[in-house]
Amino acid sequence: MNRISSAFSFVALLLIGALGALYYVKGEWTPPTLTLTPEQSTASAKTVFTITAADTDSDLRSLQVVVAQGGNTVDLVNKSLPEGTKELREEISLTKAGLKNEPLTLTVTVKDTSWHRLGRGNRAQIVREMSIDSKPPVISVLSGQHNVNHGGAGLLVYSTNEELAKSGVKMGDIFFPGYPYQPGKYLCFFAIPYNLDPKAVTPTLVASDLAGNEVSVGFFFRPLPKKFKHDSINISDTFLQSKMGQFADIYPDLPQPIDIFLKVNSELRAKNVNFLLQLGKDTVPQKLWDGSFIRLPNSAPMAGFADNRTYMYQGNAVDNQTHLGVDLASLATSPVPAGNTGRIILAEFMGIYGNVVVIDHGFGVQSLYSHLSEIHVHKGETVQRGQIIGKTGATGMAGGDHLHFGMLISGIEIQPIEWWDDHWIKDNITSKLQ
């Protein structure tokens, strides 16, 4: 009997050891990762939340989403997950919960298939206290008339009864963001881009509050049509030989200068324009500048904004592009003053613009100075109106020494000459801000 008892005990110990080892393997203690976005404490019934979860050690077993409000509890999601589920992404809204404009608790729970907790698995949970707001914000337009030149800029000032998550002017497919200006007040610089038909688009002020409720309102708007100039520009072999070398490393497989030119003038130009569009987001929600902008002293205009150009080579039209800025020529390597006070957000060589400086003046307003022979400032510096930031030159796609001056609203180049005009500044900006 002793031998049998000893053998039984040994087998039992082996089984216990095996079960312990299996539990050690299957009973890992690491819970799944779990996120719930957006991370806001105010929502509407239409707000869409995204749940993401993952587990590298075990499979995901179940997902439960519960809403509790005023003593009532609603299961928005309660489901088991297919075997082998390692990741999940679930979108939910509170529409079906029958909610009131009262506080609620949203609880998201994910469990895995671990044997931990006596087979119940590891658990990850997010509990979020939230308030519900189903009313859209009330928006009032404060600025009066908005007479905007084709290619030019306008300013809209408006008030709201609550904090906004996002607002601005939508012009066709283009969105110009608005910014808080004073308590309860916002402003938005917007434009009629040169390539939009001013008679075919109507701007709309759109806004959404912290809960995601949206509203759109119209406002008085009168577009002022403008005719833009068209030029033909002859491309000489001398120009190609002198200028295309600076772009040869970008297009090493193109042996002929004219082929490099065509790539630079279209493909690289488009990339540079898109870069400026993204750079337009690098702005501060405050007005850094004051008064009209300085024009390059003692200079003559050589090309205007939105001039359409047909490029000719050996008697043939080879390309067509639009010039976005004003070209000003003075003496070679003339000092270039900052048009107004602001902060440097770009100071480097950039494609067709050559050596370029971009200054942010706040609220999405920026100025651009290109083809410089020298740059005297660095990114991050604050410059004052009239401070010398560089010297004119012929870098990039410039055919001779000059300054290409541009103004931008949210990264979109607009008509610069308005910003040199004291009367335009007073009538269209200063008076509205007051």
Residue range 94-118, pLDDT digits in tens = 877 677 778 889 999 999 999 876 6
pLDDT of residue 19: 47
Is the confidence at residue 67, as pLDDT, over 80?
A: yes
> What is the secondary structure of 150-209 as a DSSP string?
TT-EEEEEEEESS-EEEEEEEETTEEEE-EEEETTEEEEEEE--TTS-TTT---EEEEEE
The torsion of the CA quartet 70, 76, 78, 81, rounded to 10 degrees, works out to -150
Is the confidence at residue 88, as pLDDT, over 90?
A: yes
Q: How confident is the model at residue 78 (pLDDT cuts 50, 70, 90)?
A: very high
pLDDT of residue 368: 98
pLDDT of residue 278: 97
CATH 2.70.70.10 residue window(s) in the chain: 230-415
Task: Please give the residue that has the higher pLDDT: either 6 or 412.
Answer: 412
Q: Which two tokens stand for residue 318?
A: 């080879």
Q: Domain 28-132 classified CATH 2.60.40.1930? A: yes
Q: Which CATH superfamily is domain 230-415 in?
A: Glucose Permease (Domain IIA) (2.70.70.10)
Query: Mean pLDDT across the stretch 44-50?
Result: 85
**Which residues make Cβ contacts (< 8 Å) with residue 201, sequence separation at least 6?**
171, 172, 192
Query: Mean pLDDT across the stretch 122-131?
Result: 93
pLDDT of residue 28: 77
- Torsions phi, psi of 233, nearest 5? -120, 125
**Which residues make Cβ contacts (< 8 Å) with residue 125, sequence separation at least 6?**
34, 107, 108, 109, 110
CATH 2.60.40.1930 residue window(s) in the chain: 28-132
Is the confidence at residue 350, as pLDDT, over 70?
A: yes
pLDDT of residue 9: 59
pLDDT of residue 255: 85
Is the confidence at residue 157, as pLDDT, over 50?
A: yes
CATH fold of the domain at 139-224: Immunoglobulin-like (2.60.40)
Is the confidence at residue 341, as pLDDT, over 70?
A: yes
Q: How confident is the model at residue 18 (pLDDT cuts 50, 70, 90)?
A: very low
Residue range 291-333, pLDDT digits in tens = 999 999 999 999 999 999 999 999 999 999 999 999 999 999 9
Residue range 4-17, pLDDT digits in tens = 556 555 555 555 55
Residue range 244-295, pLDDT digits in tens = 999 988 999 998 999 999 999 999 999 999 999 999 999 999 999 999 999 9
CATH 2.60.40.10 residue window(s) in the chain: 139-224
